[in-house]
Every structure is written in C-alpha cells, then in structure tokens.
Amino acid sequence: MLNRRQFFSTAALAGSALAGIVPAVKAAAPAADVTTEVVPSKANPVLLNFNENSLGMAPSAKKAVADALVNGHRYPDDAKEAARAAIAKMHGVDAKQVTLGAGSSQVIQAIIAAKVEAAKNAGQKVQVLEPTPTFGVAAAYVEALHVPVNDVVLQKDTLAVDMAAMKAAAKNFDGFTIVYFCNPNNPTGTVTGKNELSAWIKDCAAAKAPVFFLVDEAYGEYVEDPAFESGIELVKQGLTNLMVAKTFSKLYALAGLRLGYGIATPEVNAEIDNFESIDNINLASAVAATATLADAAYLKTSLESTKASKAIVVAALKELGIKYLDTQANFIYHEVKGSNADYQKAMAAENIFVGRTFAPFDNWSRLTLGTPGEMKAFVRVLKSFRAKGLI
Amino acid sequence: MLNRRQFFSTAALAGSALAGIVPAVKAAAPAADVTTEVVPSKANPVLLNFNENSLGMAPSAKKAVADALVNGHRYPDDAKEAARAAIAKMHGVDAKQVTLGAGSSQVIQAIIAAKVEAAKNAGQKVQVLEPTPTFGVAAAYVEALHVPVNDVVLQKDTLAVDMAAMKAAAKNFDGFTIVYFCNPNNPTGTVTGKNELSAWIKDCAAAKAPVFFLVDEAYGEYVEDPAFESGIELVKQGLTNLMVAKTFSKLYALAGLRLGYGIATPEVNAEIDNFESIDNINLASAVAATATLADAAYLKTSLESTKASKAIVVAALKELGIKYLDTQANFIYHEVKGSNADYQKAMAAENIFVGRTFAPFDNWSRLTLGTPGEMKAFVRVLKSFRAKGLI
C-alpha cells in the first residue's frame, strides 16, 4: 500500500513522522524559462528529492499522448511494439532483446522473480548481493521471496563500490548469486569502470559461475566518465549472465507515465517475460517514449540543462568547501554539517526538498539536479545556511 | 515478449499462423453517432475480439489526462492515491482495502505470487483450481512458478461452472488451493450465484480450509442477474480468504491506460503489496479513472450502449435460431456452425474480428458487444452468412 514517497521516506526514517520533509503539494508547471532563479514557496516548492527531471515532458511527448487517447479504450499492443522497436533501434539490438516494464523497477522485479524461481526450482540456495547504499527496490522485492540480501558497504574513503569484497561475497556463497549493480550508483552518482565491472561479468561468464548480474543503468545517459562501459555492450557480445535495466524516468522526463526496459539476450528475456503481467505497458507511456526518442532537440536540451545545473551546484560546493562526489548522473552527493535528516528539515523550511538519508552515510545528502533556475535558488539557500553556520 | 494479441491468439491457435484473423490496423476513432450502422473496411475494421469498450474513453477522462501531463515528469503518487480513494469510496471500503495494479491482470499476478510463496514457504503443496474455459492469465502466471493448474471443465449442457467438481477438487488436494473464479465467467458471460459461490467461500472461511479465492469481477458492472453477489460483500464482512479483482478496461473504457484493482481486507492487501513493483500505476490511468468515476453521465451512456447492443444481437440470434447464453457481461457467447476458427476467418474476411476459440468448446464464439452501430454491421454480415449456409 506504500507509495514511492512513503516507501523511500520510511526506509530512511525508520518509521518516524514524515511531517516537515514531505511537501504538501507537487510543483506546478515547469517555467518556460528554466534558467531564471525560481522563488520556492509552499505552493511551489522545489522538488530535488526523487531524481525527477524538472524540465518536464517534451512537448512532442505531450502531443503524442493527447493524440493517442482516441484509442485509449483498446489494449495497447501496437503502441507497445512501436516503443519496443524504437528502443531496440536506439541500442542497435533486436526487438527480442528488449523487455518492457512499468518503470525499470518492474523489470527489476521480474528478472529477480525469474532468477530466484529458477534457482529454487533447481534446489539451489540463492542470495542477492549489492553494494550499499544503493537503489533499494531489488532488496525490497527479494525480502518477500525470503531471499537474503548481502549488503557490501561502499569504501569509506571514496564511496566507491568495494569490488574485492563483492567478488569474495559471490565466490564464497554456496548457491546462486544475483548481483544488483546500479551503475552509475545511486546515491553516489559515480561509476564503476569497465576494467572492474565488465571484467568481472566476463570472468563469471567464462567460468560459468553461478552469478547473474542485474546492471541498473537508470542514469547511464548522463555519464561522461570514459572509464564507463554500458552492460549493453556485453549483451551484444552474447553474454547471458546479465540484464541491463534502463528507464524513461530520468533524461526522458516520463517518470509519471512509467516505462522502463531491460536489455538482455533473447533467451534471458524469454525467462523474464514469464514473470511479467500480460498488459503491463500503458498506451500513454509507449507513445510518449517513442515521441521523445525521436525528439533530438528535446534530448539535447534535457542533457544540457542537467549539465548546466551540475556546473552551478559544483561551483557553489567548491566555493563553500563542501565535499562532494564527481557525479555522472542527474543528482549529486555531498556532505552536510551534522545529519542529513536535520539538513533535510532545514531545507524543507525553505520550501526546497532534498533527498533522503542513505545509511550508513548519515551526513551525506543526495541532491537532484533540477533546472538551472531551481539550482540557483538552492545555491542561494545553501549560502544562507553557511552564513547561519548550518552547513 | 508476447503481447496480448499474440498471447491469446496463440493460446487458441496452438502455434498456427495468425494471418487472416488479426486485423492489420486498429479501429479508427469511435464515431460520434454510435447507433448508425458502421461500414467495416480494411482501414476501419470492427474489433469485437478483446471485450474492449468501443464507445471510447469519456471526454472527461481525456481532458484529465491532457491536463495532468504538466506533471508527467514526476512520480505519480498523488494521482495514484486520489484514484485509490475514489475507488474505495465507490465500494464503501477503506483505502487500505484497495490495491492497485497495471490492469487487473497485474493484481491477479501479485496475489498469486504472494499466495504461492506463502504456501511454499510453509512447506505446503499448492495448486490453482479453475473452471475451464475461463480467462487465462492466472494459469499463465503459475506455470512460471511450477505450480499445477487443475482445470474443471464447464458443464456440457449449460456451460455453467461445475461446482460439485470444483469443491471436490479443492477438498481432495493435500495442500493449499488458490481458486481462480471469474464471475461473470469469460467467455460464457454467465454468473455463478450467491447461493453457490458466496456459500462456498463462507464455508471455507468457517472451516479454515486451506483455500483462497481469487474472484475476478472484471465484468461485474454489467450484471443484472439477481442471483449474483459481488465478493466485495464478503470482504466487507471481514473474510480474509478472498480477493476480488476489478478493472477499468471494460465499462470505463480505459484498457489502453492500464488500471485494475483488488479489494480485500487490509491484511490480505499487505501481503499482495510485497509482490507489486513500487511504481506500477501511471499518472494517465490514475487521473482518467478518477475522472471517469466522477462522470455519471458517461457511465450511464456506457452501460446503456452495451445493453442496446446486447438487445440487437440477441434479437438476431433468436431470429436465426442460434444457441446463445444469457450474458451478464459486455460480450455474448453463441454457437456457430462448424468450428469457431473457420467462423473467425469468414468474419475477418468481412473486416469484423470476433473472439478466439476457448477449448474444448470449439464450435462456440465469443462476441464482444461493441457500439449499437457496430452490432448492426455484425448482424448484417451474420444474416448474410445464413444466406450462404455458413451459420
């Protein structure tokens, strides 16, 4: 019954009241001019807490949805297949290698259900192995399946994934391991490079190790770090020990419409499909995704807007001497003075909502990169906090 | 990877070619005047094959979707909770008793996953028990979980559910039974009355029998038979051995947007929620459902249109002396001369697409009740078939 807001809030708050850190209203329409500093208010709070894309949907996507509603009473097979074809074309894979879900969270759920069932049915023990902190849905899903989650804490100094510990945890397990690997990671925004992650996946494939990699690249579109390699390259090489999860909720600004997908070999996808409900994709998301994929101008604006916002925030953090990680995503992870819980409340009092706490890093804050105009408002408040000794 | 069309087509065709019975295009916009006889063509076929609502979405729902897209880049928590509240209010239950899914098919998947896992975790054997033919998704989902499906064929004479055989099959199973019960049933359109179904559910509850009822009332809004009782009445009495699945795809004409729900006690719903992905409901479906629920005029028109269509078809079937069942849904099940497979092809040649075959009743056809104008076209073709000796 929990919605996303409650799910992730309670995960952070361990049951304490949400009052004060959950906005009363959603933000109004994105401003036409996204670079002018906004004025946060109770009626128009600045929402930098869920890694949404403040730019708003592409106008072409809105038009596509409105135009499609004439067939809203029909099951959406045609629109679904058109979206699948457009996604396949973008990645240079066959449509059979694309499995669609109501957000990547559903694709993650389906592949986990499939792999857990396969392992249990073969009489194998099974575990989910992941770095922590990371995006929490994989762990949430397997809990219901009575599967243990092995959390490997990020390295204390760099907040990078502890690859040696991850590999050891997989090697030492006497059963089947599902590795959940968010790359770039959430909340850190940093990537694990090709020499580490791709190499591990290839080694496991070569050794036929009982390990399956669920590589979540929700933020892959934002990566500039040349060390990064998309897992899709490994899928193209025919590796069957991974699936890459992707989403239209970030760069494409379609979080509300729910479309995500997985890229894997046709054999792996056939396994996943058995665990997806028959009509999980809706017409609105399918036509909006297809339209946005074809809208090169919007995609360029979307990416550039986030980069401009990153530059604004990074300049301020540098100026204030606040420690931060070099993000490759649409959010940035930085230190705060005292606890993030207190910092969240102080920001909320200014009608700016920032990300939840990711244990055990209680003095770090995940800040979504909204529009440049929103980030200017954030920076103004952040500097006022410094003046008050709050940061 | 199969979409709905392929899933249900191949189920019927056992792998044979789809050519000839799958339309090349979807129907164009519903006509403004829904009672004037339509002219089926290749470009504008009449689609009476998936129990969709040919009337099209309520204009109020279309407007609600278009208006909501300004927040399409945000996760849709608020719209989801508003839809849940509206559904709860309609049924007179608490919001905690409403679980939402991307169509009722997803709710069906989630409750099955939850109950199968609970049984397996308790060391129990588990089976799904259902009348056959019926709507096929429950059986499809459990196959992936390696759970056997016990199909009890409908009574040969009346095509009613064989309640004695169903009860015996549950009683004789040495484990946990999940009963999938579509009421009114699909494809027959007939109901199993309160004295039979409600009584059985109550008996099982009183005896604490290891049986859970998944009552699918996708077509409940169309029922006029006074023998029918919604399972929601039993939920309101506090019974925890059932969930009722409902959909916005039929009376509400929102099949493309994907919204279904389950009604159960809060305890049962808490179990289901663990098996649903965190953001399964999309903004468009949520606001469209809320708007349609509030649109009494549209709902009246929708119901009356289907009843008018039923009257048109029943009159023709009577006139032609064709055997049919007294439907309580938005489709009607009738006999054909020869096989339904051949009949489907003959209708498709006239650009009218009727339902697939439901084994073992190979000489029966399921006809969706579209608009009165569509049914007039159907009747004209049906009568021409009689003249040719085809029916």
The pLDDT averaged over each successive group of 10 residues in chain B (391 residues) is 52 42 61 88 97 98 98 97 98 98 96 97 97 95 95 96 98 98 98 98 98 98 98 98 98 98 97 88 98 98 98 98 98 97 98 97 98 98 97 91
Q: A155-186, pLDDT tens digit by residue?
A: 999 999 999 999 999 999 999 999 999 999 99
Per-residue pLDDT band at A15 (split at 50, 70, 90): very low
Alpha-carbon distance of A168 to A90, in angstroms, equals: 36
Structure tokens at A143: 């809990």
Predicted confidence band of residue A12 (pLDDT cuts 50, 70, 90):
very low
Beta-strand (E) ranges in chain A? 46-48, 98-101, 126-132, 149-153, 176-182, 211-216, 242-247, 260-263, 331-335, 352-354, 364-368
CB atoms A65 and B62 under 8 Å: no
Which among A205, A224, A221 is positioned nearest to A213, based on CA atoms?
A: A205
Interchain proximity A72–B57, CB inside 8 Å: yes
Angle at A327 between CA A322 and CA A328, to 5 degrees: 170
Tokens of A202: 């290839």
Quick: pLDDT tens for A110-143: 999 999 999 999 999 999 999 999 999 999 999 9
CB contact under 8 A, B255 and A72: yes
| pLDDT (0 to 100) of residue B277 | 84
Distance to chain B for A78, nearest Cα, Å: 8
Instruction: Report how far residue A143's alpha carbon sits from residue A152's, in angstroms, rounded to the nearest whole number.
Output: 17
Fold of B60-293: Aspartate Aminotransferase; domain 2 (3.40.640)
Q: Cβ-count burial of A164 within 10 angstroms (0-12 exposed, 13-18 middle, 19+ buried)? A: exposed
The length of chain A is 391
Question: What's the sign of the alpha-carbon dihedral B284, B286, B288, B291?
Answer: negative
Whether B251 and chain A come into contact, CB under 8 Å, resolves to: no
Q: Where are the domain boundaries for CATH 3.40.640.10 in chain A?
A: 60-293
Are the C-beta atoms of A97 and A238 separated by less than 8 Å? no
Of residues B95 and A20, which shows the higher confidence score?
Answer: B95
CATH homologous superfamily of A4-58+296-387 equals: Aspartate Aminotransferase, domain 1 (3.90.1150.10)
Residue A10 pLDDT exceeds 70: no
b/e per residue, B75-114, with b = 16+ CB within 10 A?
Answer: bbbbbbbebbebbbeebebeeebbbbbbbbbbbbbbbbbb
Answer yes or no: are the C-beta atoms of B256 and A65 closer than 8 Å. no
Pairwise CB contact (< 8 Å): B273 & A1: yes
Touching A: B residues 66-125, CB under 8 Å: 66, 68-81, 95-96, 99, 101-103, 105-106, 108-109, 113-114, 117, 121
B279 reaches A (C-beta below 8 A)? yes
Smallest Cβ distance to B102: which of A3, A62, A282? Answer: A282
C-beta separation of A71 from B256 below 8 A: yes
Provide the percentage of residues in chain A whose pLDDT is more than 90: 90
Q: Is B264 on the interface with A (CB under 8 A)?
A: no
* Cβ atoms of residues B353 and B48 within 8 Å: yes
Identify the closest residue of chain A to B118 by CA–CA distance. A145
pLDDT at position B274 is 86
The one-character DSSP state at A268 is: H
> Please, where are the H alpha helices in chain B?
4-13, 59-68, 77-91, 104-121, 137-144, 163-171, 197-206, 232-236, 266-273, 283-293, 296-320, 340-349, 372-387
Q: Is the ipTM of this complex over 0.90?
A: yes
Torsion of CA B135, B140, B145, B151, to 10 degrees: 60
User: Which of A297, A329, A230, A262 has its CA nearest to residue A102?
Assistant: A262
- What is the per-residue pLDDT for A31? 62
Task: State residue B243's pLDDT score.
Answer: 98
Contact list in B for residue A254 (CB cut-off 8 A) is 72-73
pLDDT at A17: 40
Q: Is the peptide bond before B184 cis (omega within 30 degrees of 0)?
A: yes
Residue A37 corresponds to which amino acid? Answer: E
Q: Using one digit for the tens of pLDDT, what is the confidence trace for A287-326?
A: 999 999 999 999 999 999 999 999 999 999 999 999 999 9
Phi-psi region of A30 (alpha: psi -120 to 50; beta: other; left: phi over 0): beta
Strands B331-335 and B364-368 turn out to be: antiparallel
Ramachandran assignment for B297, one of left (phi > 0), alpha (psi -120 to 50 degrees), beta (any other):
alpha
Over pLDDT 70: what percentage of chain A?
A: 92
Which pLDDT belongs to residue B12? 40
User: Which residues, other chains included, contact B214 with Cβ-Cβ below 8 Å and sequence gap of 6+?
Assistant: B108, B111, B112, B138, B178, B179, B180, B181, B242, B243, B245
Is B280 in the A-facing interface, judged by CB distances under 8 Å?
A: yes
- DSSP letters, A202-231, are HHHHHTT-SEEEEEE-TTGGG---TT---T
Look at residue A4 in the predicted model and tell me its pLDDT: 53
What is the CATH number assigned to the segment(s) B4-57+296-387? 3.90.1150.10
A3–B27 CB contact, under 8 Å: no
Query: What residue ranges of chain A are covered by domains with CATH 3.90.1150.10?
Result: 4-58+296-387
Q: Which of B110, B172, B183 is nearest to B145 (CA)?
A: B110
